[in-house]
């Protein structure tokens, strides 16, 4: 790998910081990205400038200027040109610009459709530094829609033993009205221990019908081998999970469950109860957890009866994860990782406020998820395929299937 050296003019940067912070940060970003471009060039040519090696694949042929619009203004990059070999290529523009382009296109579309506000126009001008014509917006939309569609509908090969699902809501303008749309997301872990965003979709609401439709769309794309599904206690998710993936045990998110319990207790007991529940979730065996649960109920039943009824009724579904080896439980006992993803989507959508249509929502959120997925799949795996195969040879799969059967029977009762 080529060495990356970033040379900055200290006096120039300090002067810019004193006078114009945005200009200073733009200069820092521009110099950093130009250094990356030079490093990519050296790696592709297999030689530094003026270096003679047997592995050299071509030679440098100057630079061309390429503008790049960022949140801190427009910068100009010096893109290397090659001759005598493969043309120079870089991932900077694709990786840096995909979700940024989606945001710009969404705001531009609001302007085109006449539903924007003065604030949105100002934000767009700040981000882009220029305005966009209707034809430019149309072409950009087509390209982004194509990429989002490819990502959203890609085949799901291999097994995904663990899946987490959740939904968040966005405001969308539809037929002259502003309504909330449910944006459903599925987050999976494959047999190699790598996580990825499996799919997403926009629905009118969260219901048994829509959750069944969403999970079935994942199955139709090849999702199989699911052993456990983690989510909150929405009845639509429970119903869909039991029907679409009947052999998968449902794990109720312990974080959401704790919040449900604590909210039903008198305020003066909430802090103590929270600590008790944290110890409960840390029990090593289901037998130990049941004893701890009974002790908590005995201590609080007189002062927080409603909260204790909630704990008693939902306890078993929140402890499915105890079947797994201890080192895996922390990854699948809550849906916190997908909650963090939802917060990122909300942050990106704040500048939009109300989406002009459903296509605009899919375009921006799909682009953000595709970008985030690139980051997620590059992280270190949480287990290996060898570890997973060893897990399959134990009684864990049978226990999870037994839990799934018991849960289906309860839903049918």
Segment 363-397, tens digit of pLDDT: 889 988 998 998 898 899 999 999 999 999 999 99
pLDDT over 70 at 340, yes or no: yes
Q: For residues 196 and 332, state if they share a domain.
A: yes
pLDDT at residue number 75: 81
Boundary-marking domain end, from 90, 122, 141: 90
Boundary-marking domain end, from 90, 113, 135: 90
Other Cβ atoms less than 10 A from the Cβ of 353: the count is 15
pTM assigned to the model: 0.72
Instruction: Give every CB contact of residue 101 below 8 A, 6+ residues apart in sequence.
Output: 140, 144, 367
pLDDT over 90 at 35, yes or no: no
45 pLDDT tier (thresholds 50, 70, 90): confident
Average pLDDT over residues 69-91: 78
pLDDT at residue number 69: 67
Q: For residues 84 and 185, state if they share a domain.
A: no
Average pLDDT over residues 19-35: 74
From 110-124, 197-211, 334-348, the region with the lowest mean pLDDT: 110-124
The CA-atom distances, in angstroms, between 412 and each of 80, 137, 222, 243 are 65, 50, 27, 11
262-298 pLDDT, tens digit each: 999 999 999 999 999 999 999 999 999 999 999 999 9
**Structural domain containing residue 105:** 95-152
Q: Percent of the chain scored above 90 by pLDDT?
A: 56
Other Cβ atoms less than 10 A from the Cβ of 70: the count is 17
Q: For residues 205 and 136, state if they share a domain.
A: no
pLDDT at residue number 92: 64
**Is 100 a member of any domain?**
yes
CA distance 151 to 291: 46
Average pLDDT over residues 338-365: 87
User: Into how many domains does the chain fold?
Assistant: 3
**Is 366 a member of any domain?**
yes
pLDDT over 90 at 240, yes or no: yes
CA distance 262 to 119: 40
Q: Residue-wise over 183-208: b if at least 16 C-beta within 10 A, else e?
A: bbbbbbbbbebbbbbbbbbbbeebbe
Question: Tokens 């078993």 sit at which residue?
Answer: 316
Q: What is the SS3 assignment for 53?
A: coil
Q: For residues 77 and 99, state if they share a domain.
A: no
pLDDT at residue number 257: 97
pLDDT over 60 at 132, yes or no: no
48 pLDDT tier (thresholds 50, 70, 90): confident
Is residue 331 a contact partner of residue 381, using CB atoms and an 8 Å limit?
A: no
Q: For residues 303 and 350, state if they share a domain.
A: yes
The CA-atom distances, in angstroms, between 170 and each of 110, 148, 363 are 16, 18, 13
Boundary-marking domain end, from 104, 132, 152: 152
73 pLDDT tier (thresholds 50, 70, 90): low
**Is 307 a member of any domain?**
yes
Average pLDDT over residues 392-405: 96
**Is 205 a member of any domain?**
yes
pLDDT over 90 at 178, yes or no: yes
121 pLDDT tier (thresholds 50, 70, 90): very low
**Parallel, antiparallel, or unpaired: how do β-strands 177-189 and 162-174 relate?**
antiparallel
Q: For residues 300 and 275, state if they share a domain.
A: yes
Q: For residues 100 and 85, state if they share a domain.
A: no
**Is 289 a member of any domain?**
yes
22 pLDDT tier (thresholds 50, 70, 90): low
Q: For residues 84 and 103, state if they share a domain.
A: no
Average pLDDT over residues 49-56: 81
Q: For residues 393 and 311, state if they share a domain.
A: yes
Q: For residues 241 and 288, state if they share a domain.
A: yes
**Is 321 a member of any domain?**
yes
pLDDT over 70 at 127, yes or no: no
49 pLDDT tier (thresholds 50, 70, 90): confident
- For residue 177, give both structure tokens: 């009205």
Q: For residues 356 and 298, state if they share a domain.
A: yes
**Is 5 a member of any domain?**
no
Q: For residues 325 and 177, state if they share a domain.
A: yes
pLDDT at residue number 117: 41
**Is 20 a member of any domain?**
yes
pLDDT over 60 at 100, yes or no: no
């Amino acid at each position: 790998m080529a060495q990356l050296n970033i040379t900055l003019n200290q006096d120039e940067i300090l002067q810019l910081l004193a006078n114009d912070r945005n200009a200073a940060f733009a200069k820092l970003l521009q110099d950093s990205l130009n250094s990356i471009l030079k490093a990519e060039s050296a790696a592709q040519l297999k030689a530094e400038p003026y270096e003679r090696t047997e592995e050299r694949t071509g030679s440098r042929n100057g630079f061309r200027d390429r503008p790049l619009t960022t949140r801190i203004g427009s910068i100009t990059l010096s893109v290397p040109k090659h001759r005598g070999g493969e043309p120079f290529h870089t991932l900077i523009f694709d990786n840096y610009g995909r979700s940024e382009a989606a945001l710009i296109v969404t705001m531009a579309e609001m302007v085109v459709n006449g539903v924007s506000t003065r604030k949105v126009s100002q934000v767009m001008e700040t981000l882009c530094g220029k305005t966009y014509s209707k034809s430019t917006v149309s072409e950009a939309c087509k390209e982004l829609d194509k990429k989002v569609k490819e990502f959203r509908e890609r085949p799901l090969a291999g097994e995904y033993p663990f899946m987490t699902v959740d939904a968040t809501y966005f405001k969308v303008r539809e037929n002259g009205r502003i309504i909330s749309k449910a944006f459903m997301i599925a987050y999976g872990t494959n047999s190699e221990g790598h996580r990825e965003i499996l799919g997403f979709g926009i629905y009118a609401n969260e219901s048994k019908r829509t959750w069944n439709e969403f999970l079935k769309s994942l199955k139709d794309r090849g999702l199989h081998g699911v052993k456990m599904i983690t989510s909150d206690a929405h009845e639509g998710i429970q119903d869909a999970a039991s029907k679409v993936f009947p052999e998968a045990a449902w794990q109720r998110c312990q974080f959401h469950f704790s919040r449900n319990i604590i909210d039903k207790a008198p305020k003066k007991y909430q802090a103590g109860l929270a600590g008790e529940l944290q110890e409960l979730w840390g029990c090593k065996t289901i037998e130990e957890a049941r004893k701890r649960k009974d002790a908590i109920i005995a201590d609080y039943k007189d002062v927080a009866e409603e909260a204790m009824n909630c704990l008693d009724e939902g306890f078993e579904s929140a402890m499915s994860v105890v079947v797994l080896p201890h080192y895996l439980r922390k990854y699948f006992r809550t849906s916190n990782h997908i909650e963090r993803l939802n917060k990122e989507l909300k942050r990106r959508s704040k500048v939009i406020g109300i989406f002009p249509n459903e296509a605009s929502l899919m375009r921006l959120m799909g682009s953000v998820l595709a970008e985030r997925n690139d980051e997620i799949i590059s992280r270190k795996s949480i287990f290996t395929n060898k570890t997973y195969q060893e897990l399959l040879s134990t009684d864990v799969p049978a226990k999870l299937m037994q839990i799934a059967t018991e849960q289906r029977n309860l839903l049918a009762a």
